[in-house]
Amino acid sequence: MIFKPKFNLISPKKPFSKQDLGRHQAMVAPYALSGLPDPPPISHWRAMQQTDVLRFVRSLLPAYEVLGVQNKRGRLFLDSLLDAADLVLEFPPAVHSPKKFLFPHWDQLFRFKLDENILLEPETAAPPRIIFGMHPCDLHAVKILDDCLFEGETDSSYRAKREATLLVGVDCTPDEYCFCTSLGTDRIAQGFDLFLHQREGHYLIQSGSERGLQLLKTHAPDCFSSEPESPLPLQVKQCSNKTQFPFESLPNLLQDAYEDSIWQELGDACLGCGSCTLLCPSCYCFNVQDKLELNLQDGQRIRTWDSCQLDHFAQISGGNNFRSSQADRQRHRFYRKYKYLWEKHQRTACVGCGRCARECLAQIEPVAVLNQLFAETPQLTTGNSPGAEYQPQMAQILEVRILSEQDRLFRLRLSQPIHFNPGCFVELSVFGLGEAPFSIASLPDQSNEIEVVVRRAGALTQALHRTQKGDNIGVRGPFGNGYPLEQFTGKDLLLIAGGRGLLAIRSLLLAALARRQEFGRIILLCGARNIEALMFPQDLLTWHQSDLLDCRISVTDPQNDWGLSALDISYLFKDLELNPQRTVAALSGPPAMYRQVNPLLFRLGLDEEQIFLNLERHMKCGLGKCGKCRINNICVCECGPIFSYSSIKHLAEAIER
């Protein structure tokens, strides 16, 4: 059967009153302030009959949107309940996960109006909601989402929904695809508000938080006041599908499997449909785009689910793709699930629910893949308002300078000073078309003005080219870690730029020239295909004639009116005399240039710690959340885009693609 995802946006069946919302917010306040940590281990146990559960849910329906599994047209769906009698508590693991209610596949971040003064309207508060009947594996998946989306800059849109939602768990019986027992996710001791344990003919309900206890007290008072029951030990379930090794060994198992032939086998079989990640309860990669209403004046900035298994996911400007084959994408999926997140949070990003294998048309099963790797490996030892961070500030265009037929420089004035290091970037917004990342090309002087260069390519950049002096656009940022300028003081600077790589190098060079006495020699090597591809041609000519630095230029096109020989950038190293002990090299350009230049730098005597590279990728959210710029186990927008060679030499996707 061909899998067709069914994503439903669920709306409350009736508006929630201010009293309902206020009561709910009072219940969640103790946990909202601290980013939803694991609640204190309050554990009250009470017996509940089937009829008690029914009365409990009926009492909840007027005050909350209650989501539960129900039978519709012969199929089981997790959906908004209209009648408590429709709730199904004993259901197979094949039901879609509750992720779509905490991290929707279509999520409005804010609204905007296109008039003389662009008006940004924040998203409204999330309604109070209860997900009634979550299997242990799905509760573990929510913990993974919490770890990732609360890390660093908290994703406030997710947090608003998470804080407004109470989680009620229920026991389950694994099927032939489940491998939760191999990952320890078949049982759970915390991370829920209430949990229903199945007993013969009835349930034992366990409170896992103060919120859950208050819910029980308010909506099931007879159960709350009944005699307490003895706690149950955590029930270990039985799975026929299991790994042949302890899950703590997974990071070590994958450590030496990066070049294993199994990834090519998976890539050949995989159809690239993305079902595995879209069905996964813990995957959270996304895209951000604008949606205009029919009046072309009102619009929304929304985020939608995306998948690292889709061929466009890692595609960057110019059409290059640093994860171009399905084999690369499958390998990234397994490393992300079983290695990278373990090294960060000491838990896998997989909960063993089996949804990916259950719906995979190519019959790719994680357990079979991991067991095959284990069999081939020597024995291992274990080892604010929601969406506020996505809202741009408005900036006025002070100047538009034409650099070439395709490139224009924009000088922007923001409402407040902007602090950045050379190599950092900002996100520029054209409301109605979305946003995109651009390197800051100006001097980091801590003023409220910046310069960016926009190359005309798609609809958004074409719209930017149509703007004029005095227009306003959105700016979000700055983001990333730039070149460590303070670390460079007292050193000779070797700056190497290929094509558009001069954007980041220009910012670094202007900063060094502004403090010229603090640096030794400054050498700029700049290469491009032809004269038209050279960024800032007038600046290059000025620098070439200046006594403040040694500027060398090369183009590969012999037909040029600058009188340059047709040479690539490597020829600029000829007769280049350096003192390797006091030289640092800053590179910015395409990966092919790095592969060509890095060996020359090593031959000149520079160490790996003296070489800094710009690994700018197609960065989308700028917050290290969406996964667009992830290279192996790092997010470029969060950890970079500037890295020392020593810190990224082990990342095959960084330079070799």
Q: What is the pLDDT of residue 376?
A: 87
The owner of tokens 């558009």 is 500
- Provide the pLDDT confidence category of residue 171 given band limits of 50, 70 and 90: very high
d(CA 651, CA 577): 31
Question: Taking Cα atoms as reference points, which of 190, 258, 309 lies closest to residue 653?
Answer: 258
| Residue 181: HSE in the Cβ half-sphere, 13 Å Cα cutoff | 18
Position 1 pLDDT exceeds 60: no
d(CA 248, CA 246): 5
Q: Determine the average pLDDT of the residues in 255-282.
A: 94
> What burial class does residue 560 get, using C-beta atoms within 10 Å of its C-beta: 0-12 exposed, 13-18 middle, 19+ buried?
middle
Position 516 pLDDT exceeds 80: yes
Question: Taking Cα atoms as reference points, which of 356, 389, 385 lies closest to residue 288?
Answer: 389
Q: What is the pLDDT of residue 287?
A: 94
d(CA 124, CA 283): 25
Tell me how far CA of residue 105 lies from CA of 211, 273, 470, in angstroms: 27, 16, 37
What architecture is the 485-655 domain classified under in CATH? 3-Layer(aba) Sandwich (3.40)
Q: Determine the average pLDDT of the residues in 83-99.
A: 92
Domains of the chain by residue range: 18-225, 247-375, 392-479, 485-655
Tell me how many degrees the CA angle 183-186-189 measures, rounded to the nearest 5. Answer: 105
Position 385 pLDDT exceeds 80: no
Higher pLDDT, 54 or 386: 54
The CA-to-CA distance between both ends of the chain, in Å, stands at 36
Tell me if residue 455 falls in helix, strand or coil: strand
Averaged confidence pLDDT in the chain: 87
What superfamily in CATH does domain 392-479 come from? Translation factors (2.40.30.10)
- Which pair of tokens denotes residue 196? 């229903």
The owner of tokens 């902007």 is 418
Q: Determine the average pLDDT of the residues in 452-468.
A: 90
Position 488 pLDDT exceeds 70: yes
CB distance 53 to 46 below 8 Å:
no
d(CA 390, CA 622): 9
d(CA 289, CA 306): 12
Tell me if residue 537 falls in helix, strand or coil: helix
Percent of the residues in the chain that have a pLDDT greater than 90, as a whole number? 61
Q: What is the pLDDT of residue 378?
A: 66
d(CA 567, CA 565): 6
Tell me if residue 453 falls in helix, strand or coil: strand
d(CA 630, CA 371): 26
Strand partners, 134: 169
pLDDT tens per residue, range 344-355: 888 899 999 999
- Provide the pLDDT confidence category of residue 7 given band limits of 50, 70 and 90: very low
CB distance 403 to 453 below 8 Å:
yes
d(CA 85, CA 616): 54
Q: What is the pLDDT of residue 20?
A: 46
d(CA 445, CA 343): 38
d(CA 535, CA 408): 10
Q: Determine the average pLDDT of the residues in 175-180.
A: 93
Instruction: Classify the phi-psi angles of 563: left when phi > 0, otherwise alpha if psi is within -120 to 50, otherwise beta.
Output: left
DSSP string for 231-274: PPPPPPP--SS--SS-GGGHHHHHHT-TT-THHHHHHHH-----
| Residue 606: HSE in the Cβ half-sphere, 13 Å Cα cutoff | 26
Give percent helix, percent strand, percent coil of the chain, each to the nearest 5. 30, 25, 45
Q: What is the pLDDT of residue 148?
A: 92
| Residue 456: HSE in the Cβ half-sphere, 13 Å Cα cutoff | 13
Q: Which residues contact 256 (CB under 8 A, 6 or more apart)?
A: 377
pLDDT tens per residue, range 300-343: 999 999 999 999 998 888 788 889 999 999 999 999 999 998 88
Question: Taking Cα atoms as reference points, which of 451, 458, 481, 464 lies closest to residue 635?
Answer: 481
Q: What is the pLDDT of residue 384?
A: 59
What's at 592, amino acid-wise?
A
Q: What is the pLDDT of residue 290?
A: 93
Q: Which residues contact 590 (CB under 8 A, 6 or more apart)?
A: 320, 498, 499, 501
- Provide the pLDDT confidence category of residue 28 given band limits of 50, 70 and 90: very low
d(CA 186, CA 353): 9
| Residue 578: HSE in the Cβ half-sphere, 13 Å Cα cutoff | 26
Percent of the residues in the chain that have a pLDDT greater than 70, as a whole number? 91
Q: What is the pLDDT of residue 320?
A: 86
DSSP string for 29-78: HHHHTTTS-PPP----EEEE-HHHHHHHHHHHTTTSEEEEEEEETTEEEE
Q: What is the pLDDT of residue 618?
A: 67
The owner of tokens 């989680």 is 167
Q: Determine the average pLDDT of the residues in 154-181.
A: 93
DSSP H or E run through 524: strand 522-528
Buried b (16+ CB within 10 A) or exposed e, 161-172: bbbbbbbbbbbb
Cis peptide before 251 (omega within 30 of 0): no
